[in-house]
Structure 1
Amino acid sequence: MNSKDEIISQWPRFGWDKELSKALGKPVKLAKDQIENLKNSREKTSIWKLVMTDGRESIPIVLKIFKKPLKDKHILEIEMYSKAFHVFNEIMPKLYWLENVNNKEIWMFTEFIQPLRGQIKLAPQHLERIIPLVAEFHAKTFEKRFQKHSHLFGSSLPHFDSDQKSKKNVELIEKTREYLDLAMKDKNLKELVKPKYRAIQKILNKGPVFFPEIFETGQCLIHGDLHVHNICIKNGCDSEDWDLRLIDWESIKYGPCWYDLVVLVELLVDFRSDWQKREEEIRNRCVQVYVQEMKKHGIIFQEEPLKLLKKAYLQRTLEKKLANHLRRSLDGQKSALLKRYLEKVVVWGKELGLL
């Protein structure tokens, strides 16, 4: 379903004005002239912003269309809204309606909440307002607490410590070796890669699990793609206390809690050159806030938290991200992170005993 006209043509057939009127608690109709495409992806999904109106008030909603056959990650997101919303309702948009359309697509209607990005100029202190929500989410399924909710997710839920994941990591590490060798022959990459080449090859020998302690000190459900594009503010950015919600649950998995902090904090610092002069201060403060919040939920880490963050960053980088960015660069695409990845793998690898 890739066009506005197709949405309009299906609308009366399935009676969605009626169904959404029930969900919204008053009679509403689709504003056909206010349909906006937010995303069409190669992964066979499309996302639309629609507007329902009662003639006086306009109510924006999100329509996400999943094309069959569904990928595992699409099944996961649908399960998150349809089965697990009662557990995570304070951190998610509402689900209004779910429909199997012509046995070819799943149409999912959810609450529209304004994204954080674009509302504010993000500053490091803003992370301190986001991290408590992340800790609340993690705490609900941390270690043994997960068993209480495991029935909500089927076999499509990835587990970081599974045999399948370990096998995949071995394959990716071999790909990283291959790409490093190719980079040494590439005139555009050799100068960047050569100073780090031997050290990184030595580190790769210690995989695929470089730091078992990040698994041993605590796993839970993690969002998996916790960048600022997927964080929304329900009550407006001018509010003293942000009523935050997380969207885009396709990457949810059961894994080390610190992976979400890597994406939210560490990768943001990697992208933001203007933050890098203060990166130690930002990193330390964010870790401190996260540890304090997790402690409120009865969770205390048995290893130095800052080291756990760094180890999670290296594990994530070495198992997949370094390979992805080397491949991208070899294909002639730009990589804003490759230089940072190479530098931090070596520096933190030495600091954390991989070299």
Structure 2
Amino acid sequence: MRNAAPVSLISEKWRDYRFSEKLAGHFGSSVALVEENQECLKETDKSAIWKLEIRTVTQSVPLILKIFKAPIEGPKWIELNTYRKASVLLSDLMPAVYWTEDVPNTNEVWAILEYVPQLKGQIIFTPDSFDKIIPSLAKLHARTHNDRLFERWDLFSEWLPLYHSDTAIAERVQTRDRTLEYLDKAMEHPEWRQKLKPQYDRLQRLLSSGPEYFPELAQAGKSVIHNDLQTPNIGCGNVQEESWNLKFLDWEGARFAPCWFDMFNLIGIFFAYRKDWRSAEEEVVARCAPLYALEMSKHGVRFEGDPVRLYKMAYLQKVLEKSLFLQLQWAVEGQKPAFLLDGYLDKIKGWGKELGLHVK
């Protein structure tokens, strides 16, 4: 892997910005960087993630150094502000933020974070694992649900995307229009025409009636959602215990949106990719949607609608507003295999009928 920054540069910047002094208060003793233990975990044009190690008087501690590369905008801006501002409210649900530093002359920001091992690689993930994740997810959502967010709006006002802002609605309208375009393009390919033809007319009318298909989701309430709850983005340091102490990682997609969307991100995406578990999906949804509602009620948030119906609405809303577009685009242009398209079409047909999804 190509290094995001030479090891010597990290050590140099560590000394220049006196990170050891700045971290000493967090650990209650002097701190020293273990210079020989620096590992680049991931690098893109947008950021780099390093695993570092420090030594205190009593122990060695792994840390994460995340380097936000210039220009810091869009998802990077959201994630950085989540660490710098939202951690005041969500500190028990994200890695501890030990320090952030603006790097002169580069417009980079270096963030030193708690190292939390990913769930991925620690456990064999099964549908039973959802039961241990949902309580922490409900804690996140309940803490920022509806007016509770606006009680602390000073933390979020300058950077948190809002699902029902004019900008976000315009983006969804644009995606809806592009979905209709790719639906027609896909019909020109014999392979995809065969799959799409039975639903083509209804999909056209249905998409044209969007981009909001279930107003009930907004009525059920909005929260700060993570928006990418896959196992690499969930960390846990105590997987051997009955109750997991979870931290959500990589907050680039955070936004204030219908809270049920994260249940789609957590459960719906899992089953979309895992055909080996597909037969258990309805049973798991019937168990996990009420569990989420129960956990939310423990924090004073109660849903009036049937939790299973709300989950299925969230699934179809997310598919119709974005996921279907991506699958059709990939089918037409071939950048990636569109192997989720069949499943999404089945859900639109089956769950759409069950929910009374109609063309307005």
TM-score, normalised by the number of residues in structure 2: 0.93
CA contact (8 A) 2:30 2:57 kept: no
CA contact (8 A) 1:23 1:96 kept: yes
The match for 1:207 is 210
**Deviation (angstroms), 1:55:** 7.8
Equivalent positions of 1:271-350 (< 5 A) are 271-332=273-334, 333-350=336-353
Equivalent positions of 1:1-40 (< 5 A) are 2-5=4-7, 6-40=9-43
Give the Cα–Cα distance (whole angstroms) in 2 for the partners of residues 127 and 173 of structure 1.
31
The match for 1:181 is 184
CA contact (8 A) 2:79 2:251 kept: yes
Q: Give yes or no for the alignment of 1:351 onto 2:358.
A: no
CA contact (8 A) 1:222 1:260 kept: yes
Tell me the secondary structure at the aligned position of residue 47 of structure 1: strand
**Deviation (angstroms), 1:353:** 2.0
**Deviation (angstroms), 1:202:** 2.1
Q: Give yes or no for the alignment of 1:119 onto 2:122.
A: yes
The match for 2:69 is 67
The match for 1:247 is 249
Give the Cα–Cα distance (whole angstroms) in 2 for the partners of residues 199 and 72 of structure 1.
35
Q: Which moved more, 1:154-163 or 1:50-59?
A: 50-59
CA contact (8 A) 2:102 2:109 kept: yes
The match for 2:87 is 85
Q: Deviations over 1:44-87 (max 9, x none)?
A: 11111111124873211011111222113322222222222232
Give the Cα–Cα distance (whole angstroms) in 2 for the partners of residues 144 and 11 of structure 1.
41
Tell me the secondary structure at the aligned position of residue 41 of structure 2: strand
**Deviation (angstroms), 1:39:** 1.8
CA contact (8 A) 2:29 2:57 kept: no
Q: Give yes or no for the alignment of 1:110 onto 2:113.
A: yes
**Deviation (angstroms), 1:149:** 1.4
**Deviation (angstroms), 1:36:** 1.5
**Deviation (angstroms), 1:31:** 2.2
**Deviation (angstroms), 1:237:** 1.2
For structure 2, the 5+ residue unaligned runs are none
Give the Cα–Cα distance (whole angstroms) in 2 for the partners of residues 146 and 231 of structure 1.
23
CA contact (8 A) 2:230 2:266 kept: yes
**Deviation (angstroms), 1:188:** 3.9
Tell me the secondary structure at the aligned position of residue 247 of structure 2: strand
Identity %: 37
- How many residues were matched structurally? 353
Give the Cα–Cα distance (whole angstroms) in 2 for the partners of residues 328 and 30 of structure 1.
45
Q: Which moved more, 1:333-342 or 1:210-219?
A: 333-342
Tell me the secondary structure at the aligned position of residue 99 of structure 2: strand
Tell me the secondary structure at the aligned position of residue 37 of structure 1: strand
Q: Which moved more, 1:336-345 or 1:8-17?
A: 8-17
RMSD: 1.8
- Structure 1 ranges of 4+ moved more than 6 A: none
Residue among 163, 166, 170 paired with 2:169: 166
Q: Deviations over 1:133-180 (max 9, x none)?
A: 111111111112111111101333111111211111111111001111
One-letter code aligned to 1:330: V
Q: Which moved more, 1:1-10 or 1:294-303?
A: 1-10
The match for 1:141 is 144
CA contact (8 A) 1:203 1:349 kept: no
**Deviation (angstroms), 1:122:** 0.8
TM-score, normalised by the number of residues in structure 1: 0.94
Tell me the secondary structure at the aligned position of residue 84 of structure 1: helix
One-letter code aligned to 2:177: E
**Deviation (angstroms), 1:23:** 2.8
Give the Cα–Cα distance (whole angstroms) in 2 for the partners of residues 72 and 80 of structure 1.
13
CA contact (8 A) 1:230 1:247 kept: yes
The 3 A distance-change label for structure 1 pair 41 and 329 is: farther
Q: Deviations over 1:97-142 (max 9, x none)?
A: 1101124100000000111111000111111111011111111111
CA contact (8 A) 2:27 2:56 kept: no
CA contact (8 A) 1:222 1:254 kept: yes
One-letter code aligned to 1:147: F
Give the Cα–Cα distance (whole angstroms) in 1 for the partners of residues 76 and 49 of structure 2.
13
The 3 A distance-change label for structure 1 pair 185 and 150 is: same
Give the Cα–Cα distance (whole angstroms) in 1 for the partners of residues 65 and 190 of structure 2.
46
The match for 1:100 is 102
Give the Cα–Cα distance (whole angstroms) in 2 for the partners of residues 102 and 83 of structure 1.
21
Give the Cα–Cα distance (whole angstroms) in 2 for the partners of residues 340 and 38 of structure 1.
33
